[in-house]
Amino acid sequence: MPSARLRTEILAARTRRHAILQRYLPAKEFSLLQLSLNLPGPQKRLNGIFELYCWAEQQLSEQLPELFKIFSETDTLGPWGLFSTPLTATEAKMLTTAIEKSRDFARLLDIDVYSSAGQSCDRRQLGLEERTCLICAAPAQECMRLQQHSFSQLKERLEELLKPFSA
């Protein structure tokens, strides 16, 4: 797929995801969670991503009481879904961050949490450490901005992280 076409499809998927999320915000008495995968590079349909996504859904349902799936689908960016919970955004973010840190491969999860008023709850607000790079210990945002690692290094690390799900 040509890169211009892929970029257009990725932007369209992000725009669509945002529009769907906005339909459910604010959520009155519930916090909303958006579960997706953090997959660097243009290829988002890798062996093991659906199994990883299912593992993440299972973890959410075990860790967050009264979790309710609102919506899920697979698009150009991979599988994703929206969920609600009666927990506060802070409580939900603490639990979802623990899931993201629970295993090496869980680092590929991206679980965004929104308060009942529609405000995003992020790690910085809670005094939690930033995400680190998939390859080194530097902050992920810094490595992405500076393009510290080659695509082949990222791809190799991604395949390594997905191994438990791609056998």
Q: Is 123 exposed, middle or buried (0-12, 13-18, 19+ CB in 10 A)?
A: middle
Q: What is the pLDDT of residue 166?
A: 83
Q: Is residue 153 pLDDT above 80, yes or no?
A: yes
Q: Is residue 1 pLDDT above 70, yes or no?
A: no
Which residue's structure tokens are 């932007």? Answer: 11
Model-level pTM? Answer: 0.91
Q: What is the CATH T-level fold of the domain 3-129, as seen in this structure?
A: Alpha-Beta Plaits (3.30.70)
Q: What tokens appear for 166 in the block?
A: 């791609």
Where does the pLDDT of residue 86 fall: very low under 50, low under 70, confident under 90, or very high at 90 and above? very high
Q: What is the pLDDT of residue 2?
A: 56
Distance CA 29, CA 122 (A): 19
Domain ranges of the chain: 3-129
Per-residue pLDDT tens digits for 102-141: 999 999 999 999 999 999 998 888 888 888 888 888 888 8
Bond into 26 cis (ω within 30): yes
Q: Which helix (H) or strand (E) holds 84?
A: strand 78-85
Q: Is residue 84 pLDDT above 80, yes or no?
A: yes
